[in-house]
Amino acid sequence: MSVVVRNTPRTDSGIVEGFATLGVATVHEAQGRTGLLAPRLRPIYRPIRIAGTALTCELAPGDNWMLHVAAEQARPGDILVAVPTSQCGDAYFGELLATSLRARGVRGLVIDAGVRDIADLTVMQFPVWSAAISAQGTVKETVGNVQTPVICAGVRISPGDVIVADDDGVVVVRREQAENVLRNARSRAAGEATKRERLAKGELGLDIYGMREKLAQRGLRYLDAGDD
Amino acid sequence: MSVVVRNTPRTDSGIVEGFATLGVATVHEAQGRTGLLAPRLRPIYRPIRIAGTALTCELAPGDNWMLHVAAEQARPGDILVAVPTSQCGDAYFGELLATSLRARGVRGLVIDAGVRDIADLTVMQFPVWSAAISAQGTVKETVGNVQTPVICAGVRISPGDVIVADDDGVVVVRREQAENVLRNARSRAAGEATKRERLAKGELGLDIYGMREKLAQRGLRYLDAGDD
Amino acid sequence: MSVVVRNTPRTDSGIVEGFATLGVATVHEAQGRTGLLAPRLRPIYRPIRIAGTALTCELAPGDNWMLHVAAEQARPGDILVAVPTSQCGDAYFGELLATSLRARGVRGLVIDAGVRDIADLTVMQFPVWSAAISAQGTVKETVGNVQTPVICAGVRISPGDVIVADDDGVVVVRREQAENVLRNARSRAAGEATKRERLAKGELGLDIYGMREKLAQRGLRYLDAGDD
Amino acid sequence: MSVVVRNTPRTDSGIVEGFATLGVATVHEAQGRTGLLAPRLRPIYRPIRIAGTALTCELAPGDNWMLHVAAEQARPGDILVAVPTSQCGDAYFGELLATSLRARGVRGLVIDAGVRDIADLTVMQFPVWSAAISAQGTVKETVGNVQTPVICAGVRISPGDVIVADDDGVVVVRREQAENVLRNARSRAAGEATKRERLAKGELGLDIYGMREKLAQRGLRYLDAGDD
Amino acid sequence: MSVVVRNTPRTDSGIVEGFATLGVATVHEAQGRTGLLAPRLRPIYRPIRIAGTALTCELAPGDNWMLHVAAEQARPGDILVAVPTSQCGDAYFGELLATSLRARGVRGLVIDAGVRDIADLTVMQFPVWSAAISAQGTVKETVGNVQTPVICAGVRISPGDVIVADDDGVVVVRREQAENVLRNARSRAAGEATKRERLAKGELGLDIYGMREKLAQRGLRYLDAGDD
Amino acid sequence: MSVVVRNTPRTDSGIVEGFATLGVATVHEAQGRTGLLAPRLRPIYRPIRIAGTALTCELAPGDNWMLHVAAEQARPGDILVAVPTSQCGDAYFGELLATSLRARGVRGLVIDAGVRDIADLTVMQFPVWSAAISAQGTVKETVGNVQTPVICAGVRISPGDVIVADDDGVVVVRREQAENVLRNARSRAAGEATKRERLAKGELGLDIYGMREKLAQRGLRYLDAGDD
């Protein structure tokens, strides 16, 4: 059975906006190194950075019909997350669909498949993370699901979860945990500022992080060149 | 037997120039989704777009000798299409050959193998689509063919066929069909302009393309979140 | 046993600076087509070009502890060469470590693994060649080696060897051979200038390199289109 | 936080045994083409076929410590499902661990990573589906999770779900749906027997499935060779 | 437009049978190293060897409908050659279709995509060369072509061409050239027998093929260990 | 300059034979997890196991000329280790060369490239580990090196080093370290026998290796299903 679930809850927009200035790596660390999508998803241009709420869509391989169905469910602030049920790198998405999504308030696309019209998408500055680039189009014959939980690039994403994406990749934060993760991520970012300053002055991580003793315990030895 | 075929016919230049402003995706659609080269061929810089006539060259793996032979057969408006007889990602091509080809009027290179000097090629704005980037050079020991039909990245290309290439990839249009395909592509591009305008206003593809009934017939159902 | 070798010799800086304006392809040719790292190592931004001396570091997979150890051994002019003992594309390196390395005079990173914070690294213009991009962090549990010979992307690199890297890839020149290779590379670059000029005027490689006779001997035949 | 969840419920063994004679493809079809693990997981020998209940284990990359923790939670009829938190193809598993698991009643291993000692595992006929084969060992430094839900090769697996695996790959059936899916799968297998018999006699699928009219509607035309 | 071309000519069966005992490598050499399909096509079991005439079929990605259409056009001695118009590794083929094809006299399948039921196909000894193994099924929604020329794994194949396939891969011989290639291949196989006998006695290829002088001319030098 | 180094020393045959019954994984562990070739090298049949001394050969890509030169340098007990200077998966080796090498006492082939005639090689039981299987032949135009140190699949191998290879892969032991490594490997194999016996009785690795305390220290917690 194929379904479209309407009116699914989104993460509070105040929280979502908080993620907009944080990097994917920071968010990933802040939630215990979970939620990172596989690195085969790459941005089509750089630099690039967005945060928004997941609008999920499950497709048949080589069939982009459900993207049109998803467009109707979009709300401002959403990021479309599209996953075919098996791998096929054809182009499910191009600038016409981007035009439509932008008109509905969608901030970008994360797709474990291919896209086309990337020159136009770059000019439009419509952010896309995809597994492939191809000009090969798709058909509109088989229905799928919209706004149901999906597995995208190895990670489970539910409608309304927070998506954060930048040059490094894409991470998802579950809706229920978003507030906590945001707090951790901000605190982590603040902590890094201090370390950055010390490192920039030439202090060593060995000293800042107090690593020397543990390294010795694990068996690290220092020699001088020419020693035997 | 290795041969160079001289004076092969080219697609009429008036037709070729018509393709220069059309995207690869549009041309691919306009000829019934045929002629697209495999997406492993990627441009070395972006944005990028050319159209021209195929100057074909078949090489031994790890051997770029025939590119020099091909250079002599070039005519202004050609695009060199080079294919080794088996996969080897070494660099068959660099800025010296690009300098030579440009002097002979060649507009770019499509090669199912590797290239080097990509910083120089980018500065020269010499367009290249390749399967690999490597600094590893090749030898000049084994002869091949110039201006015979080749299979490049999964597609048959004959001398004089139209090559259109952009950020999305590379498509070939057979010489005999070029005029018809150009007409279809232009008409398709015109039709898209209208759709783009409607989508940009927020109209849905579901309505513009009249998809709702067929979706229901294929079994798509709408639920509300919280329903069971 | 895990070791850090201190005070290893570096190639003379006068020689190293000589490589700074030469391309990787030229250097590779100048030493008999040896020393080129596998093309899976790609720069994180372009254009990019550096030369420096190898500061080597061998890591456990998914563990970046030894990069901090390596930072202490760095000298101005070094390029960090990092290799996990088995393939794992996680991010061993980001902008904090780059800040530290830059403060110690390190010119860039060559790593047969993944990196993150690539937007920041690009803004900093800290040059990195890596096999992957990922936001997935690593642990600090297992010791390795610093300033011992390593195999990186298929090539043996000893501490103090010259590393030259640009848009095309990365090449290593052994310390003992650096002076000779520099001389050959400069002579090769000079020779190419003349050829470039002749090719730019439309002369053919067939004539400049005197290839016609050898091609005929190897069996190349010329036909005219329509001949049979 | 790393946890081991004890005493998680398993699918009823009567149901599990029912899957033992059904193929992965049949089970996959019987649950609406869901639950199939990515085809990068391949059996280490053939022919091979098992069904059992999932004993899940999440590992650090290059670290197999938690497999020993999982062994203690095993119950007869389990299949160990092991997933590193990021890709690393080292060997997390060999014949010593297989000996241990077999002694605890475990029927096989599904791992999205590498294994070794495959000659011994083949002689033991201990079934393994893995993403890689390598002799490279792992460390025991970082804790993970046992018997929590995991994403393995793109599919969510909960402790106690049914795993069915054969030469074609691996499929998971959720515990709550196992009884229904078993019924569907048996009915499907029965239906195929009749079709097989008719096809074996030379009847065409075109007629058995009544496809001719729909093919004509979709535009299929028949020509004779030599027609134009 | 989608077409089925009926009554296409086949290579004479006397010639086809002549290829049945010759290896793919021998046939490939005997026609000037042309016609070899890309090595991503691998047999599902070994040892394996067949020769037959090509029954070609072009499919939509993730759609196996046309295989049923192709079955009707089969004649005894055919080998089905199936190609999706873009890459998708799902299973287009399993034991039911194999049962049908065998009943119609088809000798095997060459497919640039995936198959399933490989345990059954192995027991049936139905030969298959495929690019992937997966249990993921396909739909029946989009029409394609039967018995038109196709590009399969990088090589053009016309209906009725000879297909020879074994453990090493798959090669096609064009119908018009089949008689000549058979003659060359037999002569080549005979010549190898003599060489095999001499090599088995310990004679060196260096002497049998008279390579020593050419090696010296190309600059090969002999040293003794310890020389400098 | 291309050289053949004659009369290079081999590891003592008494030591080499000692490795013949030890697995690759055991040897790899016994020398501190070094010397393992990248897992892209796979055996062409299974089960398979050999030990011998390295006869090294460096080739041009797509050119197998030097294998004939290497054959002359072979001594009984050698294993040929062949490496092209850049990646090309064509078939450098088939049953004629295997016949020649066997006649000269060579025990097998390790090649970071392709081979053909694998059905014949399997019948001959001539052991081969390769990176690819293809029927595509190579040329004989460019000279290389025999019996010089090479980097094969990421590992440095010198003439006369010990090669051990089995179903899991290939490992090299340096000649100078062979006696020590053999002693360690035997001791390791003996220690495993005891552990195997205890594990087979159902004892847990957790207890045998005393892991429980360290796991608790690193933060592992036990819950019961249904707890919160």
Q: Which two tokens stand for residue C87?
A: 């393939």
Residue pair F145/F58 in contact by the 8 Å Cβ criterion: yes
Q: Which two tokens stand for residue D187?
A: 């009915």
Query: What's the 3-state SS for chain B?
Result: CEEEEECCCCCCHHHHHHHHHCCHHHHHHHCCCCCECCCCCEECCCCCEEEEEEEEEEECCCECHHHHHHHHHCCCCEEEEEEECCCCCCECCCHHHHHHHHHCCCCCEEEEEEECCHHHHHHHCCCEEEEEECCCCCECCCCCEECCCEEECCEEECCCCEEEEECCEEEEECHHHHHHHHHHHHHHHHHHHHHHHHHHCCCCHHHHCCCHHHHHHCCEEEEECCCC
Q: Which two tokens stand for residue D201?
A: 């006699």
Residue contact E25–F119, C-beta within 8 A:
no
Residues 6+ apart with CB under 8 A from C22: C51, C164, C182, C185, C186, C189
Mean pLDDT of B32-43: 97
With b for 16 or more beta-carbon neighbours within 10 A and e for fewer, the A97-106 pattern comes to: bbbbbbbbeb
Question: Which neighbouring-strand residues pair with F130?
Answer: F42, F111
d(CA B69, CA D72): 69
- Closest by alpha carbon to D221, among E3, E8, E5, E57? E3
**What is the largest distance, in Å, between two alpha-carbon atoms of chain D?**
72
Q: Share the mean pLDDT of chain F.
A: 96
Q: Which two tokens stand for residue F38?
A: 């990248």
Q: Locate tokens 């006068």: which residue?
A: C14
SS3 C76: coil
d(CA D33, CA D171): 10
- Give the number of other CB atoms < 10 A from CB of residue A116: 30
- Give the number of other CB atoms < 10 A from CB of residue F179: 15
The interaxial angle of helices E95-103 and D178-200, nearest 10 deg, is 10
Q: Say if D94 is an interface residue toward chain C (CB within 8 Å).
A: no
pLDDT of residue A211: 97
Residues 6+ apart with CB under 8 A from F107: F50, F52, F77, F78, F79, F127
Chain D residues with CB under 8 Å of F196 CB are 95-96, 99
d(CA F136, CA F157): 27
Q: Say if A142 is an interface residue toward chain E (CB within 8 Å).
A: yes
Q: Which two tokens stand for residue B27?
A: 């041309």
Query: What's the 3-state SS for chain F?
Result: CEEEEECCCCCCHHHHHHHHHCCHHHHHHHCCCCCECCCCCEECCCCCEEEEEEEEEEECCCECHHHHHHHHHCCCCEEEEEEECCCCCCECCCHHHHHHHHHCCCCCEEEEEEECCHHHHHHHCCCEEEEEECCCCCECCCCCEECCCEEECCEEECCCCEEEEECCEEEEECHHHHHHHHHHHHHHHHHHHHHHHHHHCCCCHHHHCCCHHHHHHCCEEEEECCCC
- Closest by alpha carbon to B73, among B98, B87, B90, B56? B56
Mean pLDDT of E196-222: 96
pLDDT of residue F70: 98
Query: How many residue pairs from chains C and D have C-beta atoms closer than 8 A?
Result: 44
Residue contact D86–C134, C-beta within 8 A:
yes
CA A185 to chain centre: 15
Burial of A181 (0-12, 13-18, 19+ CB in 10 A): buried
Please name the helix (run of DSSP H) or strand (run of DSSP E) that holds residue A139, with its range, or none: none
* Amino acid in position A217: Q
* Amino acid in position E120: D
Burial of D45 (0-12, 13-18, 19+ CB in 10 A): middle
Q: Whole-prediction pTM value?
A: 0.96
The interaxial angle of helices C65-73 and C95-103, nearest 10 deg, is 10
Residues 6+ apart with CB under 8 A from A159: A5, A8, A9, A10, A54, A55, A56, A147, A148, A149, B225
d(CA D198, CA F11): 65
d(CA D95, CA D18): 29
CA B62 to chain centre: 23
pLDDT digits (tens, 9 = 90+) for F22-46: 999 999 999 999 999 999 999 999 9
pLDDT digits (tens, 9 = 90+) for B78-137: 999 999 999 889 999 999 999 999 999 999 999 999 999 999 999 999 999 999 999 999
pLDDT of residue C228: 55
For residue B163, report the phi and psi dihedrals to the nearest 5 degrees. -110, 130
**pLDDT tens by residue, chain A, 228 residues:** 799 999 999 999 999 999 999 999 999 999 999 999 999 999 999 999 999 999 999 999 999 999 999 999 999 999 999 999 999 999 999 999 999 999 999 999 999 999 999 999 999 999 999 999 999 999 999 999 999 999 999 999 999 999 999 999 999 999 999 999 999 999 999 999 999 999 999 999 999 999 999 999 999 999 999 865
The interaxial angle of helices B178-200 and A95-103, nearest 10 deg, is 10
- Give the number of other CB atoms < 10 A from CB of residue A29: 20
DSSP symbols for D76-140: TTEEEEEEESS---SB---HHHHHHHHHTT---EEEEEEE--HHHHHHHT--EEEEEE-----B-
pLDDT digits (tens, 9 = 90+) for E110-134: 999 999 999 999 999 999 999 999 9
Q: Say if D6 is an interface residue toward chain E (CB within 8 Å).
A: no
Low-confidence ranges of chain C (pLDDT < 50): none
pLDDT of residue A95: 97
pLDDT of residue E228: 56
User: For residue F163, is it left (φ>0), alpha (ψ between -120 and 50) or beta?
Assistant: beta
User: For residue F117, is it left (φ>0), alpha (ψ between -120 and 50) or beta?
Assistant: left
For residue C182, report the phi and psi dihedrals to the nearest 5 degrees. -60, -45
- Closest by alpha carbon to A51, among A86, A87, A88, A78? A78
Nearest to D156 among A85, A86, A156 (CB): A156
Q: Which two tokens stand for residue B16?
A: 């070729």
Nearest to A168 among C97, C117, C142 (CB): C117
For chain A, the distance separating the N- and C-terminal CA atoms, rounded to the nearest angstrom, is 71
- Residues of A (183-222) whose Cβ lies below 8 Å from C: 192, 195-196, 199-206, 209, 211, 215, 218-222
Query: How many residue pairs from chains B and C have C-beta atoms closer than 8 A?
Result: 121
Residue contact F100–E205, C-beta within 8 A:
yes
Residue pair F97/F126 in contact by the 8 Å Cβ criterion: no
Q: Locate tokens 């037999």: which residue?
A: E186
Q: Locate tokens 């970008």: which residue?
A: A108
Chain F residues with CB under 8 Å of C156 CB are 151, 156
Q: Which two tokens stand for residue E101?
A: 């094809």
pLDDT of residue A152: 98
- Give the number of other CB atoms < 10 A from CB of residue F220: 21
D227 pLDDT above the threshold of 80: no
pLDDT of residue B228: 56
Chain C residues with CB under 8 Å of B2 CB are 218-221
- Residues of F (19-58) whose Cβ lies below 8 Å from B: none
Nearest to F96 among E46, E199, E218 (CB): E199
Give yes or no for a cis peptide into F47 (omega within 30° of 0). Answer: yes
Q: Taking the C-alpha atoms of A222, A224, A225 and A227 in order, what is their torsion angle to the nearest 10 degrees?
A: -100
Q: Looking at per-residue confidence, does A49 or D228 come out higher? A: A49
- Closest by alpha carbon to C203, among A145, E64, B209, B104? B104
**B226 — pLDDT class (breaks 50, 70, 90):** confident
Q: Locate tokens 């890309």: which residue?
A: E38
Residue contact B169–A143, C-beta within 8 A:
no
Residue contact E154–B156, C-beta within 8 A:
no
D190 pLDDT above the threshold of 90: yes
Burial of D61 (0-12, 13-18, 19+ CB in 10 A): buried
Residue pair D7/F224 in contact by the 8 Å Cβ criterion: yes
pLDDT of residue D228: 56
The interaxial angle of helices A178-200 and C95-103, nearest 10 deg, is 10
Q: Which two tokens stand for residue C121?
A: 């690294």
pLDDT digits (tens, 9 = 90+) for D107-140: 999 999 999 999 999 999 999 999 999 999 999 9
Burial of D192 (0-12, 13-18, 19+ CB in 10 A): middle
F195 pLDDT above the threshold of 80: yes
